[in-house]
Amino acid sequence: MSGNDTKGEGQGDRAPTDSELSARLRRLETQIDGKRPAASSDPSPRPGPSAHSSLGQAMTLSTEFIAAIIAGGILGWLCDHFLGTKPWGMIVLVLLGFVTGVYNIMRLSGFSGTNGPGGPKDRKGP
Amino acid sequence: MAASIDPIHQFELKPLVSLGHIGNQEIAFTQSALYMFAAVGVIAFITIVATAGRSVVPGRMQALAEVFYEFIADTLHQATGDKEQRFLPLVFSLFMFVLILNLFGMIPYAFAVTSHLIITFGLAFLVISTVVIYGVMKHGSHFLGLFIPAGVPKPLLLIMVPIEIVSFISRPISLSVRLFANILAGHIALKIFAFFVAQLLLAGAWSILSPLPLFLTIALTALEFLVAALQAYVFATLTAVYLADALHPGH
């Protein structure tokens, strides 16, 4: 009984909404088209790897921090080696590496939010 | 048996065919190279042989190849927004190479090629040189706009530009160290826990406890399969993200 009822209703619903459905489909398509360029240009601003799983993110964050320090150390060593600024290149660039590591993590974890110094949180850093 | 615990032993390179010497360094065709060739063979099989039929309704292997292709194409498109997909061959090859090598490493007694830093660094260096060379070719000096974050007040640039430069140089390091460290640590952990089983079995009354590390080994094996796939995915995603910088440097 009730099954018949719902069937009848469904058909009664479907007949008038057929044109509506196609209109809705068209609306959706235009909406998607409107969204598409935005979505494609969106990830480019910051190299935040969109590793979707939190496990991937956890692995990313730790290595990102360490890699920045290593990069600073290598740059400092090269600077010392070729420019003869014996201790100072290493000292300054390893410290800079630490700063970069923290900055990388802030950026990847979305702490700084928008690109550049968006909020008061950012201004506290430097 | 218990005395021979050496979790690092599995990563030793064994020369198969010696090709001569450069200085004191032997140049040899090692088992690492053999595995790489095998990986290329498997990838070639999946992508070329299995899709040779080009059937509209794909068979099993063709479906596998199509899944990989569409997955990478999707990832790349999301990251770069590049309609021409000109980096698709590079990213796809890198992903397949790393994935197959990682999975090869999970076969018992097999050698995990990606547990060597020089391999992963070579791949990461390839990615970064592509970014730099393509970026400079396409945008010239405008490519240096990569190092100038947008919307930062002028005096702050004095600090931000060196940070961005160090950050850029840390990219190949983090890309390679991540893959290498995950595979290396995973295999060492597996080896150690597997040895615990054998050791406990030989330890008299303590052998009651031997199922514990066995279960851990099983769980770790599952985790390692996840890590093998995940790290290949992360490698491909980060490659795509870095390549996006080469395509649109100034932001």
The shortest CB-CB distance from B251 to any of A37, A40, A45 is to: A45
Residue A5 pLDDT: 45
Asked if the model's pLDDT at residue B160 lies above 80, the reply is: yes
| Residue A125 sits at the chain B interface (C-beta within 8 Å) | no
| Residue B224 sits at the chain A interface (C-beta within 8 Å) | no
| B17 bridge partner residues | B29
Q: Does A61 share its domain with A81?
A: yes
- Higher pLDDT: B30 or B5? It is B30
What are the structure tokens assigned to A113, written together? 């939010």
Average pLDDT, chain B: 86
Residue B211 pLDDT: 85
Q: Which domain does A78 fall in, by range? A: 54-124
Instruction: Tell me if A48 and B241 make a contact (CB, 8 A cut-off).
Output: yes
A106 inside domain:
yes
Residue A13 pLDDT: 47
What are the structure tokens assigned to B3, written together? 């005395």
Angstroms from B203 CA to nearest CA on chain A: 37
Separation of alpha carbons A11 and A18, rounded Å: 11
Residue A17 pLDDT: 65
Q: Read off the pLDDT of each residue in B58-81 and give the average, rounded to a whole number.
A: 85
Residue B146 pLDDT: 82
Residue B4 pLDDT: 60
Q: Does A19 share its domain with A72?
A: no
Distance (Å) of CA B173 to CA B29, B123, B147, B151, B185: 26, 11, 18, 28, 17
- Contact residues on chain B for A43, CB-CB shorter than 8 A: 78-79, 81, 241, 244
| Alpha-carbon torsion, ordered B77, A107, B123, A98, to 10 deg | 170
Q: Does A61 share its domain with A106?
A: yes
Q: Does A37 share its domain with A87?
A: no
Q: Does A59 share its domain with A120?
A: yes
Q: Does A70 share its domain with A116?
A: yes
Which B positions 137-156 lie with beta carbon below 8 A of chain A?
149-153, 156
The ranges of chain A with pLDDT < 70 are: 1-17, 32-53, 55-56, 111-126
Give the global pTM.
0.75
Angle (CA) A65 A67 A73, round 5°: 110
* Burial (Cβ within 10 Å: 0-12, 13-18, ≥19) of residue A83: exposed
Inter-residue contact B68 to B7 (CB < 8 Å): no
A99 inside domain:
yes
Quote the number of domains for chain A: 2
Q: Does A11 share its domain with A66?
A: no
Angle (CA) A25 A26 A27, round 5°: 90
pLDDT band at B13 (very low <50, low <70, confident <90, very high): confident
What ipTM was reported for this prediction? Answer: 0.72
Would you call B65 helix, strand, or coil by DSSP?
helix
Angstroms from A36 CA to nearest CA on chain B: 9
Separation of alpha carbons B145 and B130, rounded Å: 17
Q: What digits encode the pLDDT tens for the residues B90-132? A: 999 999 999 999 999 898 888 888 999 999 999 999 999 999 9
Q: Does A64 share its domain with A101?
A: yes
Residue A55 pLDDT: 66
A48 inside domain:
no
Q: Read off the pLDDT of each residue in B151-163 and give the average, rounded to a whole number.
A: 84
Q: Does A33 share its domain with A72?
A: no
Q: Does A83 share its domain with A31?
A: no
- Contact residues on chain B for A61, CB-CB shorter than 8 A: none
Residue A95 pLDDT: 92
- Higher pLDDT: B116 or B210? It is B116
Backbone angles phi, psi at B108, to 5 degrees: -55, 140
Q: Does A60 share its domain with A99?
A: yes
| Residue A79 sits at the chain B interface (C-beta within 8 Å) | no
A23 inside domain:
yes
Q: Does A30 share its domain with A75?
A: no
Asked if the model's pLDDT at residue B142 lies above 50, the reply is: yes
Would you call B21 helix, strand, or coil by DSSP?
strand
A47 inside domain:
no
**H helices within B52-87, ranges in order?**
60-80
A49 inside domain:
no
